[in-house]
Amino acid sequence: MKFLTSAVGLVTFTAALARDPQAPLSESSSASSAKSPQSRPNIVFFLADDQDVHLDSLAYQPAVHRHLIDEGLTFRRHFCTVALCCPSRVNLWTGKAAHNTNVTDINPPYGGYPKFVSQGLNGHYLPIWLQEAGYRTYYTGKLFNAHTVENYNEPFPAGWTGSDFLLDPFTYSYLNSTWQRNTDPPVSHEGDYTTDVISQKAKGFLKDAVETEDPFFLAIAPVAPHSNVEVDHGTQITPDAPFKVTPPIAAERHKDLFKNVQIPRTEHFNPDKASGVSWIRQLPKQSSVQVEYNDEFYRSRLRALQAVDELVDDIFGLLEQHGILDNTYVIYSSDNGYHIGQHRLPPGKECGYEEDVNVPLIVRGPNVPKGITTDQVTSHTDLVPTILELVGAQPKDDLDGTAIPLREAEISRSDGRRHEHVNLEYWGFALAEGKYGFAEEDLSGKLILFVACTCHGHGFLQ
């Protein structure tokens, strides 16, 4: 029965493709149809790191609520296709599935920045296409893993008018991050709080962008609420090198918040009865000591997100101050989701569970309905086609996704016609974050591999 339902989804998807969903939209009666270069919309893209939907983290971000959820469209069924930073980010920025980018891991030989380069993708991803369409492009924060203090210029990431990247092995060092601007050498920010550093850089790029007449794309990719990672030596973070993963670190001003908050005790939280594939089914029920540790880990994530929320608030303030808020699409998402204690798992991602793959997506902008939640099934693969369509760029015929209908007219036109499944895949190891590991018999480094097509549409959300 389930198979039958998904087969219907497939037919619908094929039909949608036949209608050429990447053809430029015509909002025929609206003002945006007469597009002079100056009136083309700007795009600001916030990409958080490891932020969940299912652990309710968004509920602790008042600015995200005020500026995005209340004023835009929230996708309840948006998915990353690989629940791991680098393959997910490469999927997001190239518009191609991981089995087509061949970037399936965070480190070489199967992933990381060197793999993105060797697969020829540095010449074929979103910022290049946006520049071809006449956009100025800016990026600050974490781009990919294994983008390091040594390989940052071999070559430089292409396509950016302005860039200021976090570099490994200091990417997740909340209080000692290293940044690399344009073609300058890396600079250490020892003692500065990472999200406050990115906030300054993002505001700087926004000011640069508004000084010109061209429309712009600005991506802001803070590291929160990812775990804090300290590396003993070496330039990469690999399972073989000594490194320590601890809860994320809050800005001093947020460190005492949320003292009584706990991980939501949902059905899957530390269940009495184990389930799932063998390595997960073998996990013992977590002790009360472990659960208390996980609750504090959870609070640390919420505290770390507070500076991200301030950053969002500041950027909206600037957009308003410059009078460009009404002509700017603002997107908020995360590379992948996160679990803490669900299915008895220690903090981490990499699995196919909803906690890991269902991620935030909120979009606000011209003609996007306000304060609405949608059940359209979408994935990161769809974001490049969506952005290309928003800016009126030439559609690409070798992408794996379909533009997401965002404006009122398109949403009603597409109702029931979009695909109801997403392709999820995973190709590597699972890492337990925090101090407890997987179990007494440590399973870290366990190789997991799955390629799955899951159905998430109406009536068959699993």
Ligand X SMILES: *[C@@H]1O[C@H](CO)[C@@H](O)[C@H](O)[C@H]1NC(C)=O
The site for ligand X (CB under 6 A) is made up of 102, 109-110, 170, 176, 178, 188, 190
CA distances (Å), 259 to each of 51, 256, 370, 388, 433, in order? Answer: 20, 7, 33, 43, 22
Tell me how far, at minimum, the Cβ of 188 lies from ligand X, in Å.
3
> Cβ 102 to ligand X, closest distance in Å?
4
**Least distance (Å) between residue 429 CB and ligand X:** 16
Q: Is 237 or 368 the residue whose CB approaches ligand X more closely?
A: 237
85 belongs to the catalytic site: yes
Q: How far is the CB of 167 from ligand X (least distance, A)?
A: 8
Q: Tell me whether residue 14 or residue 153 sits nearer to ligand X (CB atom).
A: 153
Closer by beta carbon to ligand X, 102 or else 236? 102
Q: How far is the CB of 386 from ligand X (least distance, A)?
A: 26
Closer Cβ to ligand X, 60 or 426, answer by number: 426
Query: Smallest distance from the beta carbon of 228 to ligand X, in angstroms?
Result: 12
What is the 3-class SS of the chain, one letter each residue?
CHHHHHHHHHHHHHHHHHCCCCCCCCCCCCHHHCCCHHHCCEEEEEEECCCCCCCCHHHHCHHHHHHHHCCCEEEEEEECCCCCHHHHHHHHHHCCCHHHHCCCECCCCCECHHHHHHCCHHHCCHHHHHHHCCCEEEEEECCCCCCECCCCCCCCCCCCCEEEEECECCCCCCCEEEEEECCCCCEEEECCCHHHHHHHHHHHHHHHHHCCCCCEEEEEECCCCCCEEEECCCCCCCCCCCEEEECCCCCHHHCCCCCCCCCCCCCCECCCCCCCCHHHHCCCCCCHHHHHHHHHHHHHHHHHHHHHHHHHHHHHHHHHHCCCHHHEEEEEEECCCCECCECCCCCECCCCCHHHHECCEEEECCCCCCCEEEEEEEEHHHHHHHHHHHCCCCCCCCCCCCCCCCCHHHHHHHCCCCCCEEEEEECCECCCCCCCCCCCCCCCCCECCEEEEEECCCCCCC
Q: Which is nearer to ligand X, 151 or 178 (CB)?
A: 178
Min dist. Cβ of residue 119 to ligand X (A): 6
Residue number of the CB closest to ligand X reads 188
Q: Name the residue nearer to ligand X (CB basis): 233 or 273.
A: 233
Q: Which of 80, 85, 351, 455 is catalytic?
A: 85
**Closest CB to ligand X among 167 and 357?**
167
Catalytic residues: 85
